[in-house]
Each structure stands twice: as C-alpha cells, then as structure tokens.
Amino acid sequence: MVRIQRKKVKNNRSGKMLGAVAVILLAAASVLFRAQFQVQQKVDDDGYNNDINVKSSKRNKRGKATEHLQKKFDLTMDRVTNMDDDNDDTMKLILSGRLNLIDITSIRKIGEGEPTSDGTPPFPYSARGVFCELDWSRHKNDAASVPMFKDLIANSPACRRTRVTVDLLRAASEARIQSMQDEMNANASDTDADHEATATSKSKSMKPTGFVFHESRCGSTLVANSLASFDPPTTRVYSESPPPITVAKAAQAAIAANPNVEADAIRMVQDTLFLMGRTSDMIEERLFFKIQSIGSKSIDIFRKAFPSSPFIYVFRDPVQVMRSHLKGQDTTKAVCTRSRRNPPADLLNHIANSNSIVQKASSLSTEEFCAAHLATLCVAAEKAIQESEGWGRAVNYEALPQILIDDIIPHHFLGHWDKHENDGKEKEYISSNLTEDEIARVLEVNKKYSKGRKGKGRAWEADSTQKEDTAWDELKDASSKFLLPVYERLQVLARDGVL
C-alpha cells in the first residue's frame, strides 16, 4: 500500500472571495473585542466610534477597533437584522446548535446583486433554510438502524414540532459572529472573568473533517456507518442530507451561467455546511459528510469551498454495482436510469467517446444507459482526485473495512499538518493509528447490514460472487463497454495514489 502525503493548501483565495466575507469577520471582531474587553467608547454625530479606550493595555495590543471597522460593523449589523423578521428566540436556538439544518428551499438568487448606496457589498445569495431538533444519539448508538439522514429525521420525534424556516444568510452571518465569541471564550485564560466566560460557552462550530463521495451501491453507507461508529461521542456524520447537494448543484449551475458569481456561490456552500457544523455538544469535534452519488459531479465545488478537507471516492466492480442497481431484467425505474428522458451533456459525451457503435442515448438499452451514467460519476471523481494533490483518494469496495482502519480514518481523514513552529523546518504531517476499541467498533458495525432499518436488521453477508453469478449477458456487455475502462483507472489511483 502506498500512502500519499498530501500537499499543504496555500491560501490562494481570490480577493473577491475575501471581500465577500471580510465585512462580517472584521465587523464581528469589533463587537466581540468590545464586549469581551470592556471597551469604553464615544459616539460621534454620525453614530460611529471615534474614540475607543480599552481598560486592559495587554488586550489592547491584540486588536484595536477603528472608526472604519466600527462603521463596517454597524452597517453590517443593520443589514443582518433587517434581512428577515425571523423570531429572535428561534435564531438563538439555531446559533446554539440546538436546531439543525435539514433542508434548503427557495434559492432565488446567487450573486449578481448591485452594490448598495452605502458602499457595502450586495447580498451574496438569497435562500431559506429549514431547521429542527435532531436526536443524534440514535445515529451514534446504532448507525446501521438509521443509516441515512432521512432515517435520522424520521426517528427524531422533536423534529416535527420544532421545525422552522429562516433566512439562510442571516442565520449563517449571525452564527459566524457567535462562533467567534465561542472561540474567544474557549481560548480565554488570563482572568477569572475569562474562566467564567469559558464555562458558559455552550456551543461551537466544527469544520468538515472529510467528505465521502461514491458511485452508489458500492459500500458507501458502510463507510459512513464506520465513521459514525469508531468514536461516536466525538463524531457527527451527515449521510446524504439534502442541504449540501442542494447548494452544491445550485452553485455549480450559477457559476456555469455566470463565472463572476463564483465567490458568492461558494460562500453559500460554506455557510450551509458551517451551520450544519454548529453543535451544543461540546464533546463533538469531527464532522463528516457522505454526499449523494450525483454529488460526485460537484466535487470541485466542495473542494473550492473546503480546500483543506480531505475526501474519498468509493467505487466497486462494474458488474457488481450494476447488478445492485438492476434487480431484474425489467429495470426501467432503476436509479441509474432516472435521467434517461433528459440525459446530461457529460453522459452524451461519454457515449460518443466510447467504443460502442451506439452513439445516441435514445438508442441505448437500459443496461447500457445505467453503465454510462455510473461511468460519468467515476470519470468526474477520477478528475477530481488527480487534481487534488493528495487530498482525494479512491477506495475500492474490496478493500473495506481494513483500509478504513489502517489508512483512511487515521491518516487521510484525521492526519494533519503540525500547526506549531518547528525551528524554521518544514512542518510535519502528524497522524496516529486507531485504538483497539475504535478498531473493534468499526469491525462490529461492518458485521451488520449497512441499511438495517426496522425490520431489516441482519448480519452482513458477502454478495459479490452472487452478483457476478446472477448477472446476465447484456449487463456484462454494457459494463464492459462503458464502465470497465474508468474502473480500471480508478484501480490504479486506489493502488498507487495520484498519477
């Protein structure tokens, strides 16, 4: 096995991206320092600070608010509070992490806004977020019984009665301000007052620890269950939740239509996952997202939003995957054929560039269309992995679960660059092996059927041979024509790393 040492991510975000968030972050710094460090201020006729006196000179060195910064803060807060009439008590529950983002609705606009008369940037996007209270203990205690996000919602009794819909941008903007306050409280240590502030900090934000993309019907749910099980108290896993794929697809479409809105589109993706990372459970520290299979075509969007979050792509033998999709020879309603009436451009291109004598999607058999669809997912993932500089890995189903234990979880997902000074030397990449208890929990969840919902709980049984034996000739031929070539290339990536 070759272990890839991924490259450090350089801070290469464009000035436009920084500009989109600078007002919120800098403005937040102003109000937080003002509240935390007991700033005495005078206000001029225009309502902005023109004189700031900080009681503690030691703290004053850490950042002095200026008239310009205060002006930005006041303008930003006016816009945030006027964006929506959502109930303040509801917003407090969202900011505290008590309510979780479960869906995105009404994405009406991304970018393209005109600058306001006061010179502040226009709203980057317009969308609504649906929140409710989830019982994460159900997933942490037995991931196989609530394997998908929809199962978690269905098994969270409080979700229906706490369901609310609010402005997504307002929630994200206020959450970022709250997060800065949380971080300052957590880092405070100089005075007794600081210790008291730390003790009262009851929420925080988690950054994405890693992403799982997949071909579908290839063991990805088993991967998600393993991530949820190796250290349940500290780990949260979103398994095919609607918000990430919704905003990623919207962002991708908006950028394709107008590249100038990229910064705003990426901001929407970042805000969405930022809200999903809010937690009132201070033990939690790791955040994973398993994205729907179609999200393999949007890996570049997630990479732009979170360049230092590693990802994997799970794939499987072509015949075995197709046999899972096509339960019998009458398979017109198979998931892999959903786009048959309106095939996407990449699928049409894949057909045209294949060795098949069939050049039109309308002429393909069900088996051929299914294979071509799956191939487009694999091709997109292959490209993303090759361009990721080690941040992306291909994982073959046949290597599960041992590769999760030996490599993917401890080194690829949990490994990190040393953040401390190292006498001017190159920073070290730090990782460690899973503990015996963590390994035991991963192995235990892999003994269960990954989608063991109520009435379906049973021990896992190997089915690769059975799928091969029951595959029919048309299925085998289609997988060989359209899917086998990219499968073999992914095999190389999985074995040898990035080419």
Burial classification of residue 307, based on how many CB atoms lie within 10 Å of its CB (0-12 exposed, 13-18 middle, 19 or more buried): middle
Pick from 323, 328, 302: nearest CA to 374: 323
Query: Mind listing the pLDDT tens digit for each residue in 21-76?
Result: 444 444 444 344 333 323 333 323 332 233 323 333 434 444 444 455 445 444 44
Same domain, 222 and 187: yes
Confidence of residue 139 (pLDDT cuts 50, 70, 90): very high
Q: How far apart are CA 449 and CA 460, in angstroms?
A: 4
Please report whether residue 228 resides in a domain: yes
Pick from 491, 289, 296, 293: nearest CA to 395: 491
For residue 272, the model assigns a pLDDT of 99
Asked whether the predicted pLDDT for residue 152 surpasses 70, the reply is: yes
Cα 264 to Cα 71, 144, 255, 304, 410: the distances in Å are 23, 37, 9, 12, 34
> Are residues 209 and 287 in contact, defined by beta-carbon separation less than 8 angstroms?
yes
Same domain, 325 and 452: yes
Return the ∠ at Cα 215 (arms to 103 and 259), rounded to 5°. Answer: 60
Asked whether the predicted pLDDT for residue 170 surpasses 60, the reply is: yes
Of the two residues 238 and 335, the one the predictor is more confident about is: 238
Asked whether the predicted pLDDT for residue 112 surpasses 90, the reply is: no
Same domain, 277 and 340: no
Q: Is 232 helix (H, G, I), strand (E, B) or coil?
A: helix
Return the ∠ at Cα 176 (arms to 172 and 182), rounded to 5°. Answer: 135
> Are residues 317 and 476 in contact, defined by beta-carbon separation less than 8 angstroms?
no
> Are residues 189 and 197 in contact, defined by beta-carbon separation less than 8 angstroms?
no
Please report whether residue 58 resides in a domain: no
Query: Mind listing the pLDDT tens digit for each residue in 218-271?
Result: 999 999 999 999 999 999 999 999 999 999 999 999 999 999 999 999 999 999
Read off the pTM. Answer: 0.80
| Residue with token string 């393209």 | 112
Please report whether residue 164 resides in a domain: yes
Please report whether residue 33 resides in a domain: no
Q: Could you tell me the residue range of the domain that residue 349 belongs to?
A: 315-400+446-496
> Are residues 249 and 298 in contact, defined by beta-carbon separation less than 8 angstroms?
yes
For residue 83, the model assigns a pLDDT of 41
Confidence of residue 87 (pLDDT cuts 50, 70, 90): confident
Confidence of residue 208 (pLDDT cuts 50, 70, 90): very high
Amino acid symbol at 292: Q
Asked whether the predicted pLDDT for residue 196 surpasses 60, the reply is: no
Mean pLDDT, rounded, for 311-322: 97
Same domain, 231 and 148: yes
Mean pLDDT, rounded, for 404-427: 80
Strands 278-279 and 204-205: antiparallel
Please report whether residue 471 resides in a domain: yes
Asked whether the predicted pLDDT for residue 479 surpasses 90, the reply is: yes
Asked whether the predicted pLDDT for residue 150 surpasses 60, the reply is: yes
- Report the share of the chain in percent with pLDDT over 70: 71
> Are residues 490 and 378 in contact, defined by beta-carbon separation less than 8 angstroms?
yes
Verify cis geometry, omega within 30 degrees of 0, for the bond prior to 232: no
Q: Is 158 helix (H, G, I), strand (E, B) or coil?
A: helix
Mean pLDDT, rounded, for 11-25: 45
Same domain, 479 and 347: yes
Q: How far apart are CA 54 and CA 38, in angstroms?
A: 7
For residue 497, the model assigns a pLDDT of 62
Hey, how many other C-beta atoms are within 10 angstroms of the C-beta on 447?
A: 10
> Are residues 416 and 210 in contact, defined by beta-carbon separation less than 8 angstroms?
no
Q: How many domains does the chain have?
A: 2
Q: How far apart are CA 131 and CA 265, in angstroms?
A: 21
> Are residues 377 and 298 in contact, defined by beta-carbon separation less than 8 angstroms?
no
| Domain finish residue from 245, 263, 298 | 298
Pick from 32, 75, 67, 26: nearest CA to 48: 67
- Give residue 499's Cα distance to chain centre: 25
> Are residues 446 and 460 in contact, defined by beta-carbon separation less than 8 angstroms?
yes
Confidence of residue 100 (pLDDT cuts 50, 70, 90): very high
CA atoms in the 13 A half-sphere facing the CB of 199: 6
Query: Mind listing the pLDDT tens digit for each residue in 417-453?
Result: 776 555 556 667 788 899 999 999 999 999 886 655 5
Same domain, 294 and 343: no
455 dihedral zone (left: phi>0; alpha: psi -120 to 50; beta): left
| Domain finish residue from 298, 325, 348 | 298
Asked whether the predicted pLDDT for residue 132 surpasses 80, the reply is: yes
Pick from 292, 246, 286, 290: nearest CA to 269: 246
Q: How far apart are CA 28 and CA 32, in angstroms?
A: 6
Please report whether residue 205 resides in a domain: yes
Same domain, 221 and 287: yes
For residue 64, the model assigns a pLDDT of 45
Of the two residues 113 and 444, the one the predictor is more confident about is: 444
For residue 111, the model assigns a pLDDT of 87
Confidence of residue 330 (pLDDT cuts 50, 70, 90): low
| Domain finish residue from 268, 298, 328 | 298
The lowest-confidence range among 330-334, 452-456, 484-488 is 452-456
Asked whether the predicted pLDDT for residue 198 surpasses 50, the reply is: no
For residue 84, the model assigns a pLDDT of 41
Q: How far apart are CA 154 and CA 215, in angstroms?
A: 26
Please report whether residue 117 resides in a domain: yes
CA atoms in the 13 A half-sphere facing the CB of 298: 28
Same domain, 234 and 326: no
What average pLDDT is seen over the chain? 81
Same domain, 288 and 335: no
Cα 474 to Cα 197, 470, 471: the distances in Å are 67, 12, 8
Same domain, 91 and 207: yes
For residue 114, the model assigns a pLDDT of 57
Same domain, 477 and 340: yes
> Are residues 407 and 3 in contact, defined by beta-carbon separation less than 8 angstroms?
yes
Please report whether residue 460 resides in a domain: yes
Same domain, 344 and 481: yes
